Structure 1
């Protein structure tokens, strides 16, 4: 009897447990999913600025695990190469991509639009007229036009293979010699380019019926998202653009020059004692490279932090523990690595694969920058700053009168013996013939009151060595 009661009790517990679990599952299924939507504007002439907006927006959407990216499209067209890059970028996002044509997706805009999963229109939306022309507005020569159109059609087919009409619609928009028909209906005759209104784009054709290009017409993005996900069942985040994208477009064009000048100024600063205008200018120019890369969507804040750490390590090597080498070497490695990281197009996706091709362009930019820095340092040291730097190395004060200013070193020569007035770490001050100069040693530290010998008067510094007794 006891066993029977125990068995009944166990069955009762299992029944209650199953009922509780079933209720929990039903409640979970009944709770609607909150969809995160990232809205990225694609507005104005398609250029590098729009490319930067899309790249940075997509990367942020990926990092924030967004479910959907919606492009708010209003463009008259633009650069073909940039357009192709933007189409390929959209493929890196694993969620749903949507284009809301508000109000124009003309030329390059049409290519970007058909590369997304879903297409919706504002009531006044237009899409089409996608023939390739030269930057001057003139037609592309016939042979080149055939090659470009063939490539573009293949590209579009690879991106829109599951959609029945998209590739033919875009071909009708770009090829005036293509006659576009569905069944017995002629949508475009030869000799013209196809441009569709919102109503024409959502019209159904074929069996089973399928929309020609668009999935619906909505007065604004909010009403579209309400329709797709239900009111209050989605979270919308808008990517805000500013003048910085346009600035980054121009800064990225001169990245090697910025790097070269920045490294040149840092080199001059390290060759002269103390830290002043050259060092500040050099750091600012290199930081501009990092900031422009961030705005361009190439990198986040991490490379800037590594660059700052590199400067700290190099500073430790120069001012705190001179001659240790390790700190300076690590700092230089981090400096080079942070620059390459900032210039490489790295995506925060799980399936992203690193390759050497990823760093070809960054390495070339860095190499050109180093070449500019080396050439500039030689020219400046050899032809311009030799006399100026030699005179500027004087501290403009004498032992007998600290306020008296001297502007020209007339008696300093190699082999002169002096006294260290401020510890050389490796830079500091020495006194020779009653005048004080900024100087440095190659390695180590020379304490104050030590005797030193002038070994070399360079164009950018005075090199001394300690005389040990």
Structure 2
């Protein structure tokens, strides 16, 4: 036993060392950078920071990290300006979009110097700057950025393109670029377009030469402020002659200096750590009352594809209502997620008897947009976008036309009902979900044929018939929303999952593994004498099952734990006290199966089903738990069969059990058997009951519980002990031995 325990601890130590190697501390991420070297960086204050974006640098994820750090220093150290020298034709669009947002939000002047070709992602980065300059031979354009792709889901492509155009409209409007010109760069035109003397034929994508980009249209440059030969001439044109120029974003090393990246987010990081230290000590549950407070629920990038998140939000919404919270606010930054679960949480939100609001900070796309529509008011961050709520396949496969029509019909009916109840325009929400083969107009916003609607913050708050199109206002913080809604000074509490709840979600997801391990360990314990490792593992597995599911909000409460252990006791009575009856054993197994089945049922779904509010019948309610139980039982049976085959031959098992068997054909008298090792192997006697296969027998004048070896043995038959392994005495009929 000692050797086994030491082995387990050694294994845990190896695992811990492995995790330490995979996840090294942040302080060790750049061992060559000493504090002296870190402090020797040249200051950006009052200088022009020059950033080179060339070749395939927009396809190097490390460069995006370094650029983000550089722009953070530009803002923090009050640089005079930043200049991007661009000669890039392709790049990663999601990372480029994030970089665009950071560039567009700079308070210092930003410039783009196009020195070769700024196409695709390179063009997007240039458009994020305030002023564009071009060398005489340079080009800028979309080069098919949103061109049709082969394969894939058409609705998913439309959703992605709609989001892309919304992001560009946000940046273009902020930097003063013409939206029609930008859209001509991004996608092929369905009709001929004209920009001054420049004509873009139907079906082509716009790419501008330097001469075309600086041409005048209605007294303004089409896109670029002017042509320059080099960096020095740009500085002269921009009124920055004589300013010191410093290189920013040097070539990234193999390991990026993560402490520098952490410095960029210093303020929120400190707040998060302070909040965690106060509220998350050793995973302690945050049971702070919601009474009279504004409850904030975070909806992050992956939350809408985590089914446990929906269950957590449902519990928090009901708790907020029960504890009479002042209001609930969803803080959204999500690209979307599961459609059916979103539909369910929308119903939960609309049933609330307290106010509920949505803060789009910064994306509420797809399912996130629909979730926002269920609230009483939507607020947008300055860079926020909302929309692109088309239904797509989770696997990326194309959805058939008939199935798509059925899904649209089912979802549109509920969304229309919710939108009308909350005061939103149902046709506007429909334009986010379903593309049509005609243009649709909502005030100043035009949704082109075949596209989905995605709104920027300015578009969502634009006026139509004296009312805002969708959102109430553009705000910069949750506190500002509270002030606008008459809740100034109301305490704000963030309802977040604790370490215990995250552990519970894991247990709930992998409950079948705990059932499997618990079964196999219990079998191993029955094969070993006394109480040992198998019993401890089995108790631990089933204990984690009930505790984890209880913490996850399922029915695994104390009553089910008692029911489970009642089943264990009944099975033990069947095996050791009244073997052969069968009734107590069957009742015990049913008690254990019932406890395991109900333990994974969601508590809220159970309550709704009892009062008739659950959207389905009892079979629908138990389908998921039954699948979990079935998978655990099947896996447990397979593992038990493997243990039956291989466990007796393992060195560990041999060390725990001193097993003796009677050799075939051997015959020992009682005295010899007793004088041997003290075991009962070889003892003879008579069966007091039928052995089916367990029962009672008299052996050498003593009464014992025994198990027949294979065939049925009738009452009164002569028997001999063949095997004893701690928990069992195995006998065989003497005539058959």
- Give TM-score scaled by structure 1 length: 0.68
Matches of 1:336 and 1:91, distance apart in 2: 37
What does residue 434 of structure 1 align with?
677
Q: Answer yes or no: is 1:220 the counterpart of 2:463.
A: no
What does residue 240 of structure 1 align with?
496
RMSD of aligned residue pairs (Cα, Å): 4.6
What does residue 44 of structure 1 align with?
301
Of 115, 139, 143 in structure 1, the residue corresponding to residue 374 of structure 2 is 115
Deviation at 1:205, TM superposition (A): 2.6
Q: Answer yes or no: is 1:200 the counterpart of 2:459.
A: yes
1:253-287 deviation per Cα after TM superposition (whole angstroms, max 9, x unaligned): 54334323322322443454422222222233334
Q: Answer yes or no: is 1:307 the counterpart of 2:561.
A: yes
Matches of 2:544 and 2:339, distance apart in 1: 28
Q: 1:87 to 1:35 in 2, by over 3 A?
A: same
Q: Answer yes or no: is 1:101 the counterpart of 2:349.
A: no
Matches within 5 A, 1:312-461: 314=568, 318=572, 323=577, 335-347=592-604, 356=618, 357-381=620-644, 383-386=645-648, 392=654, 396=658, 409=661, 433-436=676-679, 452=704, 455-456=707-708, 461=727
Deviation at 1:88, TM superposition (A): 4.0
Q: 1:260 to 1:432 in 2, by over 3 A?
A: farther
What does residue 8 of structure 1 align with?
none
Query: Aligned with 1:160: secondary structure?
Result: helix
Query: Aligned with 2:408: secondary structure?
Result: helix
Larger radius of gyration: 2
Aligned length: 402
Deviation at 1:360, TM superposition (A): 2.8
| Greater mean deviation of Cα atoms: 110-119 or 75-84 | 75-84
Of 525, 531, 535 in structure 2, the residue corresponding to residue 269 of structure 1 is 525
Matches of 1:137 and 1:84, distance apart in 2: 20
Matches of 2:564 and 2:319, distance apart in 1: 26
Matches of 1:236 and 1:391, distance apart in 2: 58
| Greater mean deviation of Cα atoms: 279-288 or 168-177 | 279-288
What does residue 420 of structure 2 align with?
161
Of 180, 192, 199 in structure 1, the residue corresponding to residue 440 of structure 2 is 180
Query: Aligned with 1:385: secondary structure?
Result: helix
Matches of 2:305 and 2:576, distance apart in 1: 44
Q: 1:412 to 1:123 in 2, by over 3 A?
A: farther
1:154-194 deviation per Cα after TM superposition (whole angstroms, max 9, x unaligned): 23113223245443222212333264335x76532323321
Matches of 1:329 and 1:95, distance apart in 2: 50
Deviation at 1:101, TM superposition (A): 1.2
What does residue 5 of structure 1 align with?
none
Of 509, 534, 542 in structure 2, the residue corresponding to residue 278 of structure 1 is 534
Query: Aligned with 2:729: secondary structure?
Result: strand
| Greater mean deviation of Cα atoms: 286-295 or 154-163 | 286-295
Q: 1:146 to 1:38 in 2, by over 3 A?
A: same
Deviation at 1:104, TM superposition (A): 1.0
Matches of 2:695 and 2:492, distance apart in 1: 59
What does residue 425 of structure 1 align with?
none
Q: Answer yes or no: is 1:462 the counterpart of 2:724.
A: no
Q: 1:273 to 1:300 in 2, by over 3 A?
A: same
Query: Aligned with 1:196: secondary structure?
Result: strand
1:411-436 deviation per Cα after TM superposition (whole angstroms, max 9, x unaligned): 699998989xxxxxxxxxx9783244
Q: 1:322 to 1:48 in 2, by over 3 A?
A: farther
Query: Any conservation in 2 of the 1:132–1:140 contact (CA below 8 Å)?
Result: no
Query: Any conservation in 1 of the 2:445–2:459 contact (CA below 8 Å)?
Result: no
Q: 1:368 to 1:134 in 2, by over 3 A?
A: closer
Query: Any conservation in 1 of the 2:363–2:386 contact (CA below 8 Å)?
Result: yes
- Give TM-score scaled by structure 2 length: 0.46
Query: Any conservation in 1 of the 2:528–2:657 contact (CA below 8 Å)?
Result: no
Query: Any conservation in 2 of the 1:417–1:432 contact (CA below 8 Å)?
Result: no
Query: Aligned with 1:124: secondary structure?
Result: coil
Query: Any conservation in 1 of the 2:564–2:592 contact (CA below 8 Å)?
Result: yes
Query: Any conservation in 2 of the 1:173–1:195 contact (CA below 8 Å)?
Result: yes
Matches of 1:219 and 1:363, distance apart in 2: 47
Deviation at 1:113, TM superposition (A): 1.4
Q: 1:137 to 1:330 in 2, by over 3 A?
A: closer
Query: Aligned with 1:131: secondary structure?
Result: coil
For structure 1, the 5+ residue unaligned runs are: 1-33, 397-406, 420-429
Matches of 1:412 and 1:434, distance apart in 2: 19
Q: 1:386 to 1:126 in 2, by over 3 A?
A: same
Deviation at 1:58, TM superposition (A): 2.7
Matches of 1:252 and 1:293, distance apart in 2: 5
Matches of 2:667 and 2:553, distance apart in 1: 53
1:304-340 deviation per Cα after TM superposition (whole angstroms, max 9, x unaligned): x742674377469859x96389998887665444423
Q: 1:188 to 1:61 in 2, by over 3 A?
A: closer
Q: 1:269 to 1:95 in 2, by over 3 A?
A: farther
Deviation at 1:43, TM superposition (A): 0.3
What does residue 12 of structure 2 align with?
none
1:144-163 deviation per Cα after TM superposition (whole angstroms, max 9, x unaligned): 43333333212311322324
| Greater mean deviation of Cα atoms: 210-219 or 137-146 | 137-146
